[in-house]
Amino acid sequence: SHLSFEELLQMQSDVRTRVSKQVTGGKKTTKPAKATAKQQQGKKGPLEMSAKKRVPFLRQVISVKKKVNRDPRFDDLSGEYKPEIFMKTYSFLDSIKKREKEMVQKQLKKCRNVEQKEKLKQLLNRVTQQEQAQKKKQELRERELSLKRQRRELAKQGKKPFFLKKSEKRKLELAEKYAELKRSGKLESFLNKKRKRNAIKDKRRLP
């Protein structure tokens, strides 16, 4: 009770030392050496790992670069998209689609299975719709190019170029469609369908 706190700690340490010597027979204990990686002779030699050291579960042997996905639609490396060059480059696809359409038409004539025939009809309709949509895009592109040429000519002559509004472009499209239907002889049937649609709309609006 008369001892200080430091003296008590020192006595406790001495007791533990004497007890450990009695258990080990007075021999000094040595700590196990840590497993270290040794390199073979030469700078390019592989590493020798100690068998005492546990190998980690995920071990990176070779450094691998992170893969970065690239979208060619929004990447500058792919160049600028130009519809005219694209159409010329992939123009061979039109002939392939044409042959496929002819093949479907032949199969449709020979087919006797009702279910298979219906699938072929749907496929033929889809191909025809794609052709019509592509033709419409091509006509629209040609119209835009024609307007650009006219603007350039006016600019060369020192005149003010004109820019059509959306409503005016729509009128030009309708005029071209009317002329196309008249040439193909389908104008009357188109107008009849248009009248029927308008009549149905008028009936719905009536109280």
The answer on 118 and 144 residing in a single domain is: yes
The answer on 176 and 149 residing in a single domain is: no
Compute the chain's Rg from CA coordinates. 43
Amino acid at 155: A
The answer on 117 and 152 residing in a single domain is: yes
pLDDT value, residue 67: 81
**What's the number of domains the chain is made of?**
2
Q: Do 132 and 139 touch, CB atoms closer than 8 A?
A: no
Q: Tell me whether residue 78 is in a domain.
A: no
Sign of the CA dihedral 96, 101, 104, 109?
Answer: negative
3-state SS assignment for residue 205? helix
The answer on 179 and 115 residing in a single domain is: no
38 strand-pairing partners: 48
pLDDT value, residue 144: 81
> Cα separations (Å) of 86 from 82, 90, 91, 183?
6, 6, 8, 30
Q: Tell me whether residue 98 is in a domain.
A: yes
The answer on 119 and 185 residing in a single domain is: no
95-131 residues labelled b (16+ CB within 10 A) or e (exposed): eeeeeebeebeeeeeeeeeeeeeeebeeeeeebeeee
Q: Which residues, 6 or more positions from 72, have their beta carbon under 8 angstroms from its beta carbon?
A: 78
Local confidence pLDDT in tens for the 207 residues of the chain: 566 666 767 776 776 676 666 655 555 555 544 444 454 555 666 667 677 777 777 766 666 778 888 887 777 777 777 777 888 888 888 888 888 889 989 988 888 888 888 888 899 899 899 888 888 888 888 888 888 888 888 788 887 777 777 787 777 778 877 887 788 888 788 888 888 888 888 777 776
Q: Do 138 and 84 touch, CB atoms closer than 8 A?
A: no
Q: Do 154 and 162 touch, CB atoms closer than 8 A?
A: yes
For 155, half-sphere exposure in the C-beta direction (CA atoms, 13 angstrom radius) is 9
pLDDT value, residue 8: 64
Give the dihedral of Cα atoms 89, 95, 97, 98; nearest 10 deg.
Answer: 150
pLDDT value, residue 178: 80
Q: Tell me whether residue 42 is in a domain.
A: no
The answer on 124 and 176 residing in a single domain is: no
Please tell me the total number of residues recorded for the chain in this structure: 207
Range of the domain at 180: 164-206
